[in-house]
Amino acid sequence: MAFYFVKRLGLSALVVGTVLLVLFSLLHMIPGNPAILALGTRATPEAIAEYTARMRLDEPVWVQFVHFVSQALRGDLGADVFSNRPVTAVIGDRIGFSLALILTGMGWAVLLGVPLGCLAAVRPRSWVDRVTGILSVGTIAVPSFLVAIWSLLLFSLQLHWLPAIGAGEPGDLSDQLSHLILPAFAIGLGWVGYLARMVRASMLEVLGEPYIRSARAFGLPPRRIVGGYALRVAILPTITLIGMGFGGLISSAVFAEIIFARPGVGKMIFDAVSDRNFPLVQGGVLVATAFYILVVLVSDLVIAWLDPRVRSSL
């Protein structure tokens, strides 16, 4: 297990490095003078020169890359081009909101999707299965940004049940929770369908296994067979899917953060790209990538912990 962990950690570092390299290359392939783009078309030559020197834009790209990586390893992601605040502080202001949104979005999707999948598998071809199937495909097909807009129009503009924008009053937990409902609903809805379909398929396969038949023959209660034996095995591919799903949710969260005007790392990266605020883009993407890789790593470790066969094959 320890060897597996170290191996995965090494691979993760490699992925982060590759992502950064690609990002750096892409940023420098954007046409136009980054100094003019960042400072505006009427910026003075002195301001452009100062910006160019401060951002090391006059140095070769590989030198800039090496400098960024070496600083990042020391925990220094640079400074915001405009406010000069440390990028780590800017990200720190927002990452909590992103994590809350992503975890809540995936959390409610798991709480609903997994039981729905189980229910559909236990009663295949019943009306429950058919309704679950239709709902699952329906929720998967609708893009999350459309769900965000529709839910905002319905629950905020028409019904006035929930707030439309922001993250709530600082220090007011109930206000913050009420501001979290619609965005989390929007980004999580599609995942209810994904998870329900995945769990149903896995459960159907597992429920046909000989050990499940044996359990039934021994007269164990159906709830225990499904929850205690079948789901424990059927959930393994779903855990992988959830891990991968966090990557998708980081993207979905950008739309939700823009539409609901919530602070978050995704929206911060989006704005920073528009403003050519390269240090923020690099820092934000680095943190988002690291978060994604961490989640995938954790999901792999959980699978290895749950399934001895995976451990033995390491």
Partner 1 sequence: MTVRRTITTRRTFLASGAALGAIGLVPGGAGMVRAQEGRVLNLRLEGDNAILDPGYMIGGTEVEAQKQCLPFLAEYVRDGDTFSWQPTPYVTRLEYADDTHLEFELAEGLVWSGGNGTVSASDVAYSYARMKDSEWSGYFDALETVEVTGERTGVLVLNKPFAPFIMVTLCHGPGAIVCEKATEAVGGRFTTEFPAICGPYTYSQTPGQRAVFERNPEWTGPAPGFDRVVAHVITEVQAAELAYEAGEIDCTELGPDSLARYTETLPPNTAITTAGELQYLWMGMNTQHEKLQDIRVRRAIQHAVDVDSILAGAFAGTSPKSYGIVAPGLLGKRNETSYSYDPAYARQLMDEAGVTGLELTLRTLNWQERLLTAQIIQANLAAIGITVNILPMESGPFWEMGMEEAGDTWQDLQLWLMRFATVPDPYEATQWFVSEQVGIWNWERWTDEEYDRLYEEGLSENDPAKREEIYLRMQQIMEDTGAYVWISHDPEVYAHRADIEINAAPSGELDYHRFEPV
List contacts with partner 1 (CB under 8 A). 30-33, 36-37, 39-44, 46-47, 80, 82-85, 90, 93-94, 97, 111, 152-153, 156-157, 160-170, 172-178, 180-181, 258-261, 263-264, 267-268, 271
Least separation in angstroms between residue 55's CB and partner 1 is 15
**SS3 helix, strand, coil % of the chain, rounded to 5?**
80, 0, 20
Q: Residue 82 or residue 305: which is nearer to partner 1 going by CB? A: 82
Q: How many CA atoms lie within 13 A of 304 on its CB side?
A: 16
Least separation in angstroms between residue 28's CB and partner 1 is 12
Least separation in angstroms between residue 4's CB and partner 1 is 28
Q: Residue 230 or residue 272: which is nearer to partner 1 going by CB? A: 272
Task: State the Cα–Cα distance between residues 230 and 223, nearest whole angstrom.
Answer: 10
Per the structure block, which two tokens stand in for 2?
Answer: 């320890």
Written as one string, the DSSP assignment of 136-172 is: HHHHHHS-HHHHHHHHIIIIIIIS--S--SSS--TT-
Task: State the Cα–Cα distance between residues 272 and 286, nearest whole angstrom.
Answer: 14
Q: Residue 15 or residue 27: which is nearer to partner 1 going by CB? A: 27
Task: State the Cα–Cα distance between residues 89 and 264, nearest whole angstrom.
Answer: 13
Least separation in angstroms between residue 69's CB and partner 1 is 26
Task: Provide the 8-state DSSP code for 40.
Answer: -
Q: Residue 7 or residue 169: which is nearer to partner 1 going by CB? A: 169
Per the structure block, which two tokens stand in for 201?
Answer: 């398929």
Q: Residue 118 or residue 152: which is nearer to partner 1 going by CB? A: 152
Least separation in angstroms between residue 169's CB and partner 1 is 6
Residue with tokens 């809350």: 100
Q: Residue 150 or residue 211: which is nearer to partner 1 going by CB? A: 150
Least separation in angstroms between residue 214's CB and partner 1 is 27
